[in-house]
Chain A
């Protein structure tokens, strides 16, 4: 335990009280300002649930219908609030059901603490009922994990868990607690953790590197910014906008960076990546300075690395040293929190405009508009498009809603066309691509932002992966708006089958149930739209409702998402059709 360095314990916490380990966990959560957790009870975590019952006026527990739902709800809460999301489960299957959510939070840098019960210490390693080595299982998908076997360890480990989850590049932490440690009594006192000897969460930006970056930016003819989640996590939205405006630099976003900058900002040129906008992709290979801020050059962003921005000097603002030169070699790498780094950079940046360069993006947009966007948003064919549904949601919400998307075609369309005026408004499973993410994540997002509209955009495939969370919505009367874009297929896989597997639709055709009846079975008001003339009014009615609302929109079955960079191709080779 010598790893934890606590400097100034809070005075009011200095006196200790005699409590059980289970009660101590509740006190730890309260001390970390947690008042909402998601979970599912079971044998090995029952002592903690017993305490949750006693503390229900201070700590609200939301019973999801599956542990995976608890993790995604915690993620949705974390992403919309910037706080640590908390999920709790029992040992064995309860714990293994958390794995997808942990992996999702790990790859999308989401602060989350998961607490699992474990068999009593004396049964560890005996293959006891519901024993599983969740520490071993969760190691590759957690930022940190730890098994507590003695109650006295609880305060220090819980403090460390919260500190690690939220500091630096955030991520998930799993704490496994044996049942005996939950029963044991000890003298409890709590101090927040403020440092771990072996862990440097946020390196200080080097001023020499900042100067080098400023010089490159000031001398650039065709500078180009690509920003990601790090801007949101680092609270650097204002600094980003100032940089963009002062230096006149076109800026594009990764799907996790979306909403860090207003979508209607004139210098916001759109989305990079496989289904991103045309200009942001092809012009990556024409810029002379590429300024990457809080993004990690994921393969879905870069396409073929051999032909990615080879002509450009690359400046990489990044908090995680392991991301530097991992995929794209940086000419100038600035380690540190995005806000801190940009604050140091901004005074060195000269006011500038790059109108000719910016016009290239506009020209590309016009080309994309004619070839793709017009048909997506204002279709003339009979079938409904996913794009026009998103457009109607934008209109009905005044671009103010939190959009939670699942994974697949509808996700790409939602990210392409959703409009945002506020940060932390786009919640999606980016890195892991977890189908089933959106419905539970929307529950967490709504509970984290009760004053905002939260709209889940889900495909008919992903919806059925966590459909049972409709019960959570009903039981908690959580007024989320659920939009299922039903094309009767696993649309993205079907699109790939059409394009790359000669239309052999192997297991991508879905015979679906009556979703409206299912939603109504959960006592959620539900509507189905099959014709364009019904769309606008129904979306408006949904947005006007104060209750949970389910909307199924039957869209064209075999539409494809374009533009598209085929897997392994260059960003320059993005296809418009």
Chain B
């Protein structure tokens, strides 16, 4: 089976130790987590893990089943890139003098639709949100001038289809 990018969304109770339990599922199967993001979800007190992996759909389905099996996981879903709206964020720290010495940088900033977050005497910080390839492109463009620091976040994603968590939780309280 063909390897593809999959975004796994995990709705869980917010408990210490669950991240360890979930990452162990990937470790055991030698599957690299390409990106991981943990945040609150649309439901109060429920966390959402967004995990990106590149593997076959069969493995993804089995991994999602193992994740769902964990006691504190309410529900896990997986989606292909086409089935999600997804973004990543990146920060670039660049020496301030380059703004004046290298006018091309200003073009890169405006063309990449990134934002200047802060400017100081020594450096300024650019923030860029977008697809991975857009951030990579911006990185490539700036690299020639020197990047003091670079960091990119994990993918955050919402699915085009419904992830019916609220109804599942309501069902539990009604049963």
Known interface pairs A135-B17, A139-B17. Does A322 touch B62 (Cβ–Cβ under 8 Å)? yes
Known interface pairs A196-B71, A197-B13. Does A326 touch B62 (Cβ–Cβ under 8 Å)? yes
In the complex, chain A residues whose CB is within 8 Å of the CB of B66: 322
Q: Mark A92-134, 1 if CB is under 8 A from B, else 0.
A: 0000000000000000000000000000000000000000000
Contact pick for A197, options B24, B28, B65, B169, CB 8 Å:
B169
The answer to whether B65 and A3 have CB atoms under 8 Å apart is no
In the complex, chain A residues whose CB is within 8 Å of the CB of B24: 139-140
CA distance A247 to B74 in the complex (A): 39
CA distance A179 to B62 in the complex (A): 39
The answer to whether B17 and A198 have CB atoms under 8 Å apart is no
CA distance A321 to B28 in the complex (A): 19
Contact pick for A139, options B12, B21, B45, CB 8 Å:
B21
Contact pick for B72, options A3, A5, A324, CB 8 Å:
A3
In the complex, chain A residues whose CB is within 8 Å of the CB of B12: 198
In the complex, chain B residues whose CB is within 8 Å of the CB of A5: 172-173
Contact of B68 with A by CB under 8 A: yes
In the complex, chain A residues whose CB is within 8 Å of the CB of B172: 5, 195, 197
The answer to whether A198 and B69 have CB atoms under 8 Å apart is no
In the complex, chain B residues whose CB is within 8 Å of the CB of A197: 13, 74, 169, 172
In the complex, chain A residues whose CB is within 8 Å of the CB of B65: 321-322, 324, 326
CB under 8 Å from chain B, chain A span 283-342: 320-322, 324-326
In the complex, chain B residues whose CB is within 8 Å of the CB of A322: 62, 65-66, 68-69
CA distance A299 to B49 in the complex (A): 32
Distance between A165 CB and nearest chain B CB, rounded to angstroms = 11
Chain A residues touching B, range: 20 to 34
Distance between A375 CB and nearest chain B CB, rounded to angstroms = 42
The answer to whether B74 and A198 have CB atoms under 8 Å apart is yes
Interface centre among A139, A143, A320, A324 (most CB of B within 10 A): A139
CA distance A303 to B27 in the complex (A): 25
CB under 8 Å from chain A, chain B span 135-175: 169, 172-173, 175
Contact of B73 with A by CB under 8 A: yes
The answer to whether A198 and B72 have CB atoms under 8 Å apart is yes
The answer to whether A144 and B71 have CB atoms under 8 Å apart is yes
CA distance A556 to B169 in the complex (A): 61
B contacts with A: majority SS: helix
CA distance A144 to B62 in the complex (A): 20
Closest A residue, CB atoms, query B75: A198
CB under 8 Å from chain A, chain B span 98-121: none
A contacts with B: majority SS: mixed
CA distance A387 to B72 in the complex (A): 47
The answer to whether B20 and A321 have CB atoms under 8 Å apart is no
In the complex, chain B residues whose CB is within 8 Å of the CB of A143: 71
CA distance A402 to B28 in the complex (A): 35
In the complex, chain B residues whose CB is within 8 Å of the CB of A320: 69
Contact of A164 with B by CB under 8 A: yes
In the complex, chain B residues whose CB is within 8 Å of the CB of A325: 61-62
CA distance A164 to B71 in the complex (A): 8
Contact of A2 with B by CB under 8 A: yes
Contact of A136 with B by CB under 8 A: yes
The answer to whether B28 and A140 have CB atoms under 8 Å apart is yes
CA distance A326 to B68 in the complex (A): 14
CA distance A5 to B169 in the complex (A): 12
In the complex, chain A residues whose CB is within 8 Å of the CB of B72: 3, 144, 198-199
Distance between B160 CB and nearest chain A CB, rounded to angstroms = 24
Known interface pairs A139-B21, A198-B13. Does A2 touch B62 (Cβ–Cβ under 8 Å)? no
Interface centre among A135, A136, A322, A325 (most CB of B within 10 A): A322
In the complex, chain B residues whose CB is within 8 Å of the CB of A326: 62, 65
Distance between A181 CB and nearest chain B CB, rounded to angstroms = 16
Contact of A191 with B by CB under 8 A: no
Distance between B87 CB and nearest chain A CB, rounded to angstroms = 28
Contact pick for B45, options A2, A135, A196, CB 8 Å:
A2
CA distance A474 to B21 in the complex (A): 41
Closest A residue, CB atoms, query B24: A140
Distance between A431 CB and nearest chain B CB, rounded to angstroms = 15
Contact of A145 with B by CB under 8 A: yes
CA distance A196 to B169 in the complex (A): 11
Closest B residue, CB atoms, query A329: B58
Closest A residue, CB atoms, query B45: A2
CB under 8 Å from chain A, chain B span 10-48: 12-13, 15, 17, 20-21, 24, 28, 45
Distance between B146 CB and nearest chain A CB, rounded to angstroms = 40
Closest A residue, CB atoms, query B23: A139
CA distance A322 to B15 in the complex (A): 22
CA distance A269 to B146 in the complex (A): 74
CB under 8 Å from chain B, chain A span 135-157: 135-136, 139-140, 143-147
In the complex, chain A residues whose CB is within 8 Å of the CB of B15: 3
In the complex, chain B residues whose CB is within 8 Å of the CB of A2: 13, 45
In the complex, chain B residues whose CB is within 8 Å of the CB of A147: 17
Q: Mark A161-193, 1 if CB is under 8 A from B, else 0.
A: 000100000000000000000000000000000
CA distance A296 to B61 in the complex (A): 17
In the complex, chain A residues whose CB is within 8 Å of the CB of B13: 2-3, 197-198
Interface pairs A-B: 5 shortest CB-CB: A322-B65, A198-B74, A144-B71, A322-B69, A199-B71
7 more A-B residue pairs beyond the given contacts A3-B13, A139-B17, with a C-beta to C-beta distance below 8 A: A136-B20, A139-B24, A198-B71, A320-B69, A321-B65, A321-B69, A322-B68
Question: Would you give 14 A-B contacts (Cβ < 8 Å), ordered by A?
Answer: A2-B13, A135-B17, A139-B20, A139-B21, A140-B28, A146-B17, A147-B17, A164-B71, A195-B175, A197-B13, A197-B169, A198-B71, A198-B72, A198-B73
B contact residues vs A (CB 8 Å cutoff): 12-13, 15, 17, 20-21, 24, 28, 45, 61-62, 65-66, 68-69, 71-74, 169, 172-173, 175
